[in-house]
């Protein structure tokens, strides 16, 4: 199909498609004349993926480029997969993170108590940063609450890993971990709000 | 203090502070001369709050304005608090949501099975939208996995509600629910990634 049809099918404007082409996020179409190219299903799929990452996953152009590169050449063993996937994921959906943030010793002790050997994980800094930002806006999270949240997110991770283990190839597992993490985040946040309503309705009114 | 000092203490540039003043997000300082005003601790706190919402909570200017209005005049009873808080929260951190999205009957059946009376909740549309976006990028979530995520987020909501119940006043409860939801989201997403690493390390290597 021509680029106008690709735009129609994906809902992405032609000028944005040309931008994706220029930035190397979309592979070139097959030249059908000196000024025209045709596109196929692979292009439709790729455009949808790029769009989801850029618009809904909060991933920048450079991040999309490394995610695409990783999907095109997955690591040789599944063992390294999570490390590679995490290395290319952006710092949560919080945007850039100041890696110099101090980590509360209480938080480190909590992670150790949970058996999370997280010493050298960059996500510890992301976590500390998110906590510091909440605190600067007047929301301080006691360690007991943080522990409750951590245990709940461990259950989320159990589902995440089970999904990744079901994948039939390293390529698919990579795709599941990277996209599943970025694109399932908004699903989890919507579920959190629905669960708040359910939990609120279930609690005795006298306590509210 | 003068506006330059307010900028220094909050790390927010003077031109941004003037923008907050123009948009009504920051209350005016006390006029100390025809062209000067002085600011106090209340201003420092407010600037930190606005900044956290705009920069890290993914909330737009209009959203910040309604959050501030709600914090200034909380609902009369705690019973209505969650509804009011949810009404002013932006549609997750996914930005604008297309409310016309079709909700999968399987998802509705799951919510019912969980005992979440979510029929008229706007978050059902946000959830359906997040699922549709993931699907269009090639990530389809089986209902069993979604159920696992939902049960985990119910545990998150239990902590959320317990925190809100601890609040000593309706004002504080409102603050906890609104800010706790928006500002704790990034904490949960960082914990998810740490938990993935912990869970991955805990699983027998043969299965990976």
Dist. CA B133–CA B127, nearest whole Å: 10
Backbone φ, ψ for residue A30 (5° rounding): -85, 125
Residue with tokens 């480190």: A108
| Nearest by CB: A161 against B93, B154, B203 | B203
Contact A141, B187 (CB under 8 A): yes
From A76's Cα to the closest Cα of chain B, the distance in A is: 12
Which residue in chain A has the smallest CA separation from B112?
A198
Identify the band that residue A206 occupies on the pLDDT scale cut at 50, 70 and 90: very low
Dist. CA A59–CA A25, nearest whole Å: 13
Identify the band that residue A76 occupies on the pLDDT scale cut at 50, 70 and 90: low
| Nearest by CB: B133 against A52, A151, A155 | A52
The sign one gets for the Cα dihedral B25, B27, B33, B36 is negative
Tell me the pLDDT of chain A averaged across its residues: 83
Taking CB atoms and an 8 Å cutoff, what residues of chain A touch B96? none
Dist. CA B133–CA B143, nearest whole Å: 16
Give SS3 for A13.
Answer: coil
- The phi-psi region of residue A2 (left if phi > 0; otherwise alpha if psi is between -120 and 50; otherwise beta) is beta
Contact between B153 and A53 using a beta-carbon 8 Å cutoff:
no
Q: What's the distance, Cα to Cα, between the start and end of chain A in Å?
A: 59
**Under 8 Å CB-to-CB from A99, ≥6 apart: which residues?**
A122, A125
pLDDT at B94: 38
Give B145-149's long-range contacts (Cβ < 8 A, gap of 24+): B145/A159, B145/A162, B145/A163, B146/A187, B146/B107, B146/B110, B147/B110, B147/B113, B147/B114, B148/A155, B148/A156, B148/A158, B148/A159, B148/A162, B149/A156, B149/A159, B149/A184, B149/A187, B149/A188, B149/A191
Taking CB atoms and an 8 Å cutoff, what residues of chain B touch A126? 186, 190, 193
* Per-residue pLDDT at A91 exceeds 70: no
CA dihedral A89, A95, A100, A101 (to 10 degrees): -110
Dist. CA B141–CA A180, nearest whole Å: 9
- Token readout for B124 is 């059902």
Strand partners, A38: A30
Across A163-172, B66-75, B180-189, least confident range: B66-75
* Per-residue pLDDT at A48 exceeds 80: yes
Dist. CA A139–CA A89, nearest whole Å: 27
Which residue in chain B has the smallest CA separation from A169?
B208
Mean of pLDDT values over A54-59 = 71
Taking CB atoms and an 8 Å cutoff, what residues of chain B touch A45? 138
Beta-carbon count within 10 A of B141 CB = 20
Contact between A195 and B116 using a beta-carbon 8 Å cutoff:
yes
Q: What's the distance, Cα to Cα, between the start and end of chain B in Å?
A: 59
| Nearest by CB: B198 against A116, A146, A180 | A116
Beta-carbon count within 10 A of A121 CB = 20
Dist. CA B147–CA A145, nearest whole Å: 23
Which residue in chain B has the smallest CA separation from A87?
B193
Count of A–B CB contacts within 8 Å?
Answer: 302
Q: What pLDDT digit, counting tens, does each position of A133-184 carry? A: 888 887 889 999 999 999 999 999 999 988 888 888 777 777 788 888 888 9
Mean of pLDDT values over B83-101 = 57
pLDDT at A70: 77
ipTM exceeding 0.90? no
Beta-carbon count within 10 A of A70 CB = 20
SS3 helix, strand, coil % of chain B, rounded to 5?
65, 0, 30
């Amino acid at each position: 199909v021509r680029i106008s049809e690709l735009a129609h099918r994906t809902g992405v404007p032609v000028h944005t498609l040309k931008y994706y082409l220029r930035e190397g996020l979309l592979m070139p179409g097959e030249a059908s004349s000196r000024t025209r190219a045709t596109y196929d299903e692979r292009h439709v799929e790729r455009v949808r993926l790029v769009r989801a990452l850029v618009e809904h996953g909060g991933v920048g152009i450079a991040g999309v480029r490394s995610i695409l590169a990783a999907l095109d050449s997955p690591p040789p063993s599944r063992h390294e997969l999570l490390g590679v996937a995490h290395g290319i994921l952006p710092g949560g959906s919080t945007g850039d993170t100041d890696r110099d943030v101090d980590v509360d010793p209480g938080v480190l002790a909590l992670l150790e108590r949970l058996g999370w050997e997280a010493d050298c994980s960059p996500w510890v800094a992301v976590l500390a940063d998110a906590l510091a930002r909440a605190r600067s806006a007047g929301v301080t999270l006691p360690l007991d609450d943080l522990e409750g949240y951590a245990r709940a997110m461990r259950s989320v991770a159990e589902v995440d890993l089970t999904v990744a283990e079901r994948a039939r190839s390293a390529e698919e597992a990579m795709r599941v971990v990277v996209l599943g993490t970025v694109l399932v985040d908004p699903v989890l946040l919507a579920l959190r709000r629905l669960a708040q309503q359910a939990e609120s309705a279930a609690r005795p009114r006298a306590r509210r």
